[in-house]
Amino acid sequence: MQTLKQESLKNYTSFKIGGPADIYLPETIPEFIDLLKEYPQAFILGGGTKMLFPDEGLVLPVILTSKLNKIEETPQGIQVECGYRISHIFDFAAGIPVTAGGALYYNFGAFGHELCSFVDKVRIISSKEDKWLFRKDLFFNYRESSLKENHQIIAEVIFNKKQLSHTKSFLHLRQEKQPLKFPSAGSVFKNPQGNYAGKLIEACGLKGLKDGDAEIWEKHANFIINKGQASCQNVKSLVKKIQESVKEKFGIMLELELEIYGAKDHDLKI
């Protein structure tokens, strides 16, 4: 097992933002469980595609799942470890380094598909338990899951099938509509019911607004990009500006899809 002392978290997130932390990289599920026993409060990090970490880093250790990436086709289905990149088996994840654990935790979805539709069973672990949950035991909603609500740690997932028929077309669409040339964390806000966060932000005239090297993308306002050395504070300032502007103009409080470490959705403590 590899250990990285005071390693910059910016190297492990798609936003390229974050300070130092002690990072542990288990290579087997038993090693993962041993780490949870030793560090029960550790932060679990997968692909880092939805995370914004503080510039000062983390005191708590980080368990990075990238080496837990085994896949096996079984009679039950396609069994993958939590660090496996689902773009290898699902076309709607093409171009995004999202892992099975993180994707299921937030019920990743795109192009009319949600990951929960393909789930058969999930193995959850902690310092005290190790068990499989069936699909019927789980609850999923738009970017939500009972796994997230109950703070459960995903070790493995069994999917009932793979889907790769539209990989090229979905990747092309993503390249056209998302800022793949700049570090970002994908959509910053969830779409409110019956509306689109990007349209509301654009209607507030916020496209292109900057704070340091963080910028609300000019092509799609629900993306914040890092144009160089953006800080966590830069991004949080733009998030706060967006929420305040949309609330004032439309009476809607946009809910974060981005996960800001140590912050609650309506209390960013900036």
187 catalytic per annotation: yes
Of 87, 145, 187, 237, which one is the catalytic site residue? 187
- In this structure, the strands spanning 113-114 and 119-125 are unpaired
Which residue is associated with the tokens 């019920």? 107
- 158 pairs with which residues across the strands? 79, 121
- 144 pairs with which residues across the strands? 141
Do the beta carbons of residue 167 and residue 94 sit within 8 Å?
A: yes
- 154 pairs with which residues across the strands? 124
Which residue is associated with the tokens 């509306």? 195
CA distance 174 to 93: 9
123 catalytic per annotation: no
Instruction: Classify the C-alpha dihedral 220-221-222-228 as positive or negative.
Output: positive
Of 66, 87, 123, 143, which one is the catalytic site residue? 143
Give CA separation, 183 vs 7, 14, 194, 198, 246, in Å: 19, 6, 29, 18, 24
Do the beta carbons of residue 49 and residue 186 sit within 8 Å?
A: yes
Please list the active-site residues: 143, 187, 257
